[in-house]
């Protein structure tokens, strides 16, 4: 059963070498809550989605250049996420601030081929 995702949720990217945290700006507070809940639109790199340490995606131009300079040896470079679409699927039945609530089974994709998923929603609220 998917859970509501809140500020401080832990994220993992398939191309990143470290976990990251989700930052939710305090516009989506659940009534009586003190931690902002996330929506599918909380997908902005460097605002909502922090870097994942080093990136190892060959589609990332900085990784490709560094790897080429190292004679083809994969050379990870600092992660700078590039996410251009909302999280999916989110909750079809729960809305926060006019947007679908973000659920723990949602994913989004980095332009550099990374699949970003939620490993800890930082919330115990079931939305199923």
* Per-domain boundaries in the chain: 16-128
Angle at Cα 66 formed by Cα 117 and Cα 22, nearest 5°? 20
Cα–Cα distance measured from residue 77 to residue 98, given in angstroms and rounded to the nearest whole number: 37
| pLDDT tens track for 33-50 | 667 899 999 999 999 999
Judge if pTM exceeds 0.75: yes
Q: Do 81 and 110 form a contact (C-beta atoms < 8 A)? A: yes
Q: What is the three-class DSSP state of 10?
A: strand
The whole-number pLDDT of residue 34 equals 66
Cis bond upstream, residue 89 (ω within 30): yes
Which one, of 61, 43, 33, lies nearest residue 99 by Cα?
43
Q: Do 84 and 114 form a contact (C-beta atoms < 8 A)? A: no
The whole-number pLDDT of residue 107 equals 98
On the question of pLDDT at 120 being above 70, the answer is yes
| pLDDT tens track for 72-116 | 999 999 999 999 999 999 998 999 888 999 999 999 999 999 999
């Amino acid at each position: 059963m998917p859970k509501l995702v809140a500020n401080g949720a832990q994220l993992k990217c398939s191309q990143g070498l470290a976990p990251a945290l989700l930052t939710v700006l305090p516009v989506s507070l659940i009534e009586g809550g003190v931690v902002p809940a996330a929506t599918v639109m909380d997908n902005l790199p460097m605002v909502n989605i922090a870097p994942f340490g080093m990136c190892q995606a060959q589609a990332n131009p900085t990784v490709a250049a560094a790897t080429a300079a190292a004679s083809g040896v994969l050379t990870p470079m600092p992660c700078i996420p590039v996410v251009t679409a909302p999280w999916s699927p989110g909750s079809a039945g729960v809305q926060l601030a006019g947007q679908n609530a973000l659920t723990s089974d949602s994913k989004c994709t980095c332009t550099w081929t990374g699949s970003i998923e939620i490993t800890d929603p930082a919330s115990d609220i079931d939305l199923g």
